[in-house]
Structure 1
Amino acid sequence: MFAKMRWTTTQACAAIALMALTSGLPATPAKAQVTAYKQAVAEVASQDDEVAAFYRQTNYAPLWTGEGPEFTARRAALMAALADVTVHGLPASRYDAAGLMAKMQAARTTRDLGMVEVALSLAFVHYAHDISSGILTPGKIDAGILREVPRRDGVDLLKGLATNAPTAYLASLAPHNPEYRELMKEKIRYERLIAAGGWGPTVPAKALKPGESGEAVVALRNRLIAMGYMERSVSRDYDAALEEGIRTFQHAHGLNEDGVAGPGTVEEINISADDRLKSIIVALERERWMNIPRGKRHILVNQTDFTAKIIDDGRVTFQTRSVIGMNQGDRRSPEFSDEMEHMIVNPSWHVPRSIIVKEYLPQLQANPNAARHLIITDSRGRRVDRETMDFTQFSTRNFPFDMRQAPGDANALGKVKFMFPNSNNIYLHDTPAKNLFAREVRAYSHGCIRLADPFDFAYALLSAQTDDPQGVFQAALRSGRETKIDLVEHVPVHLIYRTAQVDARGKAEFRRDVYGRDGKIWDALQRAGVALPSVQG
């Protein structure tokens, strides 16, 4: 099967050399041949609006099937690219390269030539879209993935191919950020690792701790050695070296670094290399969804990592722990990109309607004096008298009031919130619940992102526009009044979800699939034809 074949550019050129088609065409008058060719191109191209538009603009001139080295080079570059799609985690079966080869080899008439011309353009546009922006539609996988995929116009893609060196142009279509390149390298490394047998036996224990010894400890040590988290040794004891190896593993997987192989750590250690490879392939697809300029300075919130970072010129200049939405219903934090415009110091908390009707309305119906920390107002902003109001007359559909918590130490948003106005009403903010940041899995909010170090985050943002960021912020804070501080330059914000990421040394690190989204993506990729090397047909 062609899916198993690997073509070099030289081999592709040799195969496509059969397309000295025009020299073998019947001795039909030139005008009739041109007309038949154009009619075939127009007819077949009509199945795709963008491809059809390109050929109309070029008066149906050939891009692939003309005579000369530039046409041969384009054909060879496309076939070589299609033969290499699995390197990117894309399914070879999706592009039917064998079928394209067969069409080229079987072409005998001018009409055949026109049909081959369009088939190659359709294959190219299909490939170009997939390699540059992914093969899946994010919102169809999970309602919480609100990522807008940067799909490039097919006409522009074909024009780009016509005016550039084909091999270089095709290579330019995939994401060019360092993360994508390093993930591809790790994909290849994991495929080789799996072919060699993986990491060996799993640890036959639910938990182990320093001071223990025995076969389970040996299995734990051997697995960490195979993974590259400690030096080779033969001790049967859970000694200091093994404890340090556990800490190294825990650091690379976002776990509490206590050196103890507790249930959570053992569970992560026992995850197979095959499953880790799936996470890498999913991460490659996710990177294609985000094949956009991210901003010279930008904010990156990786939900699975429970962190928020400020990145300047590709370097992390600030990082803090975060809390994300609970793993239930509409409380899961969504994924999307926007721009941070301002921060509000001493914010009021305007309670979202979903929380009002789901959580507070039942409390008020049971006791009008419930949730006294919240001010209830009508549509004109007037305060509602709880003592005279019968809340039992209202339902989740007709409750007419708003609820607000005034600024203060107990405010649910803490002392500052960071705004990138969006239809999902998601933002970053402080919180009085500081104890949650010490937990390993931090999914407790109603969807917004809570920050462990919001003041330092504010100072880092304001440092781009003032020599005294701390003074500016603290002056607003001391006023006790709700104060808006605009960011002179808006900062792109990217709320992402990565269970596989690459560290500074180019080694893959992994995180738990908190919301199960990456599992859904892998299932969809499988349905599209993606498979691990060990199970490919």
Structure 2
Amino acid sequence: MKILYSLVAVVLLFAAVSCNKKADKKTEESKKASEKVVPELKITIDSSGISTFYQSYPKLVKFQNEVLALYKKNKSTQLWLDNRGVVEYANTLFNKYKGLDQEGLKANFPYNEKISPIFEHTAENKLSQKDTDLMITNLYFYYVQKVSGVDEKTTRSLEWLLPRKKVNYQVFSDSIYKKATISDDKKSKMFSQYYKLRDALHRYREIEKKGGWKTIETAEDFKSLKLGDSVATIGQIRERLYITGDLKENNKSNICDSTLIKGIRTYELHHGLTPKNIILPEHIAELNVPVSDRIKTIIANMERCRWIDPELEKGKEYIEVNIPEFKLYLIRNHEIAFVSPVVVGRAMNKTVIFSGMMNNIVFSPYWNVPPSIIKSEIKPGMAKNKNYLAQKNLEWNNGAVRQLPGKNNSLGLVKFLFPNSNNIYLHDTPSKSLFERENRAFSHGCVRVGKPRELAIELLKQDPSMTTERIDKAMHAGKESWYTLKKKIPVYIGYFTAWVDRDGNLNFYKDVYKRDESLIKLLTEE
């Protein structure tokens, strides 16, 4: 009996295995059959279909050439749809678009009511498959345009002449075609300051969500607060500084102690103010700027960062001047090698935002007086005083006027040349007291350097023959002499009213040329 049961068990086992094999075979055949039944989705999207699309959606026509080229490259077939519907790559794009607010931009696609139902399923997508694919493609180019910043024609109208980051639509087209990842997280894609300001934007928006900060109230006759003073205003200042991290803790005391003074000095350093040991009305005015305004300033400067070619900061040696900060930096091997205060052009004679290549240093320079100054200042002076030229150390030179070398020369004892059509250069000045002021917009447009001797020494370190003694002698020779740099040095003159420094501190500077408001208006009206 045991043998009989064993034989039955074996037969049943083989039968089960055989049945399973047959079932698996049938399942596999059924799967293959179903795969064969559903053909690959293929939607023809040719030039005539694209032309018809733009007749219906004219607000997107600026992308037509790029879209035509892209579909032609893809053999006039769809890019974003398959048998299962919208591909995951398209959903990633839409999420990036919806997240533009995190980049300080508005997500206002011209046909938002058409694009949203494709992804959000809150309403039925009434577009044809062809128009659905075309709408997503236009969303892609819209997104690219937004994250790349306003066009070069617009930035030029805003007097921004620094080298622009080029928008290569062909590269983006290839990205779609190859289904590459839509991401701006790789730091090399943008000017590094952009990412730092984006982090600051998120932090300040969190402050705004929590209610921002209250307006600090002072008495009508308020003049100053000093160490030891006790008044309710002190507690308000303490709370305000704590919110932005200028004070690490808030003991809620109404007494002005050393901790509070230290916090105010930190605040001053990060807002373009000269550190003092007292609290003045100017401090209260700065502290009372609403968080919403600070956010707008950050957004404006994020936009400026979009215009900067990230390749610029990869140079081994270059000079950068930030006009609102009134400072010059020499960057060498990605580190700050030298810093100097500067004086820039007044509002009527704005220093131009541009770049050049420094090639010469001129010691004991002549100053060739611009025709505008001859007309507005020198000729009226000569009319009143026949000895005007001699008293100002000026002379006629081939029909023009120039100032002789010397310590009283308007260019001081040295100038740094980077040829440009704006006739802008860096130079020394006899008016040293101007560098002690907070607002240093006083020049006719050129950039006056607070530490010109030190800058010359730093730039000429690479040349052993140009010792400090030789540089000093050339600066005081009373006779003009030129030195040609062995390697030209890029000079970038920019305009940033918000900037995160290398220690991670967010700094705000006065908008000396009133450029922020027009830029914010441009960004919010789009």
With normalisation by structure 2, the TM-score equals 0.81
Question: 1:227 and 1:47 mapped to 2: Cα distance?
Answer: 43
Relative to structure 2, which stretch is displaced further, 312-321 or 479-488?
479-488
1:340 pairs with 2:358: yes
Q: 1:403 to 1:134 in 2, by over 3 A?
A: same
Relative to structure 2, which stretch is displaced further, 86-95 or 359-368?
359-368
- Structure 2 residue matching 1:460: 3-state secondary structure: helix
- Structure 1 residue matching 2:182: 3-state secondary structure: helix
Which amino acid is the alignment partner of residue 231 of structure 2?
A: G
Q: 1:138 to 1:371 in 2, by over 3 A?
A: farther
Q: Offset at 1:280?
A: 0.7
1:290 corresponding residue in structure 2 = 308
1:481 pairs with 2:479: yes
1:93 pairs with 2:138: no
1:186 corresponding residue in structure 2 = 200
Q: Offset at 1:162?
A: 2.5
Relative to structure 2, which stretch is displaced further, 264-273 or 277-286?
264-273
1:320 pairs with 2:320: no
1:122 corresponding residue in structure 2 = 138
Q: Where do 1:348-497 residues align within 5 Å?
A: 348-372=366-390, 373-377=393-397, 381=398, 401-466=399-464, 470-471=468-469, 473-474=471-472, 476-477=474-475, 479-497=477-495
Relative to structure 2, which stretch is displaced further, 186-195 or 287-296?
287-296
Question: 1:238 and 1:108 mapped to 2: Cα distance?
Answer: 66
Unaligned runs of 5+ in 1: 1-22, 382-400, 529-537
Q: Offset at 1:293?
A: 1.6
Question: 2:81 and 2:386 mapped to 1: Cα distance?
Answer: 81
- Structure 2 residue matching 1:82: 3-state secondary structure: helix
Which amino acid is the alignment partner of residue 353 of structure 1?
A: P
- Choose the corresponding residue for 1:65, options 70, 80, 91: 80
2:29 corresponding residue in structure 1 = none
1:212 pairs with 2:232: no
Q: 1:200 to 1:174 in 2, by over 3 A?
A: farther
Contact 1:338-1:422 within 8 A present in 2 as well: yes
Question: 1:429 and 1:290 mapped to 2: Cα distance?
Answer: 26
- Choose the corresponding residue for 1:227, options 234, 244, 261: 244
1:40 corresponding residue in structure 2 = 49
2:504 corresponding residue in structure 1 = 506
Contact 1:199-1:227 within 8 A present in 2 as well: no
Question: 2:405 and 2:211 mapped to 1: Cα distance?
Answer: 59
Contact 2:338-2:458 within 8 A present in 1 as well: yes
Q: 1:469 to 1:78 in 2, by over 3 A?
A: farther
Q: Offset at 1:250?
A: 1.0
Question: 1:440 and 1:125 mapped to 2: Cα distance?
Answer: 44
Question: 1:122 and 1:353 mapped to 2: Cα distance?
Answer: 52
Contact 1:37-1:113 within 8 A present in 2 as well: no
Q: Deviations over 1:289-311 (max 9, x none)?
A: 11342223221111111110011
Q: 1:189 to 1:173 in 2, by over 3 A?
A: closer
Contact 1:147-1:336 within 8 A present in 2 as well: yes
Q: Offset at 1:454?
A: 0.6
1:262 pairs with 2:280: yes
Q: 1:42 to 1:465 in 2, by over 3 A?
A: farther
Question: 1:274 and 1:498 mapped to 2: Cα distance?
Answer: 18
1:159 corresponding residue in structure 2 = 174
1:54 pairs with 2:69: yes
Contact 2:416-2:425 within 8 A present in 1 as well: yes
1:244 pairs with 2:242: no
- Structure 1 residue matching 2:108: 3-state secondary structure: helix
Contact 1:306-1:442 within 8 A present in 2 as well: yes
Q: 1:220 to 1:157 in 2, by over 3 A?
A: same
Question: 2:365 and 2:71 mapped to 1: Cα distance?
Answer: 57
- Choose the corresponding residue for 2:289, options 248, 271, 274: 271
Q: Offset at 1:163?
A: 3.6
Relative to structure 2, which stretch is displaced further, 234-243 or 318-327?
234-243
Q: Offset at 1:141?
A: 5.8
Unaligned runs of 5+ in 2: 1-37, 55-60
1:281 corresponding residue in structure 2 = 299
1:176 pairs with 2:194: no
Contact 1:141-1:524 within 8 A present in 2 as well: no
Contact 2:191-2:308 within 8 A present in 1 as well: no
Question: 2:465 and 2:223 mapped to 1: Cα distance?
Answer: 51
Question: 1:470 and 1:162 mapped to 2: Cα distance?
Answer: 59
- Structure 2 residue matching 1:298: 3-state secondary structure: strand
Question: 1:193 and 1:108 mapped to 2: Cα distance?
Answer: 41
Question: 2:254 and 2:113 mapped to 1: Cα distance?
Answer: 54
Q: Offset at 1:84?
A: 1.1
1:145 pairs with 2:175: no
Q: Offset at 1:138?
A: 4.8
Which amino acid is the alignment partner of residue 116 of structure 1?
A: T
2:212 corresponding residue in structure 1 = 198
- Choose the corresponding residue for 2:324, options 304, 315, 334: 304
Identity %: 27
Question: 1:155 and 1:455 mapped to 2: Cα distance?
Answer: 48
Q: Offset at 1:74?
A: 3.0
Q: 1:525 to 1:48 in 2, by over 3 A?
A: closer
- Structure 1 residue matching 2:438: 3-state secondary structure: coil
Contact 2:342-2:450 within 8 A present in 1 as well: yes
Q: Offset at 1:405?
A: 0.9
- Structure 2 residue matching 1:509: 3-state secondary structure: strand
Q: Offset at 1:186?
A: 1.0
Q: 1:97 to 1:460 in 2, by over 3 A?
A: farther
Q: Where do 1:517-528 residues align within 5 Å?
A: 517-528=515-526
Question: 1:371 and 1:403 mapped to 2: Cα distance?
Answer: 9
Which amino acid is the alignment partner of residue 403 of structure 2?
A: Q
Relative to structure 2, which stretch is displaced further, 173-182 or 195-204?
173-182
Question: 2:67 and 2:180 mapped to 1: Cα distance?
Answer: 23
Question: 2:500 and 2:517 mapped to 1: Cα distance?
Answer: 19
Q: 1:155 to 1:43 in 2, by over 3 A?
A: farther
Q: Tell me which structure has the larger Cα radius of gyration.
A: 2
- Structure 1 residue matching 2:483: 3-state secondary structure: strand
Which amino acid is the alignment partner of residue 328 of structure 2?
A: A
Q: 1:266 to 1:47 in 2, by over 3 A?
A: closer
Question: 2:217 and 2:492 mapped to 1: Cα distance?
Answer: 37
Q: Offset at 1:69?
A: 9.7
Q: 1:182 to 1:139 in 2, by over 3 A?
A: closer
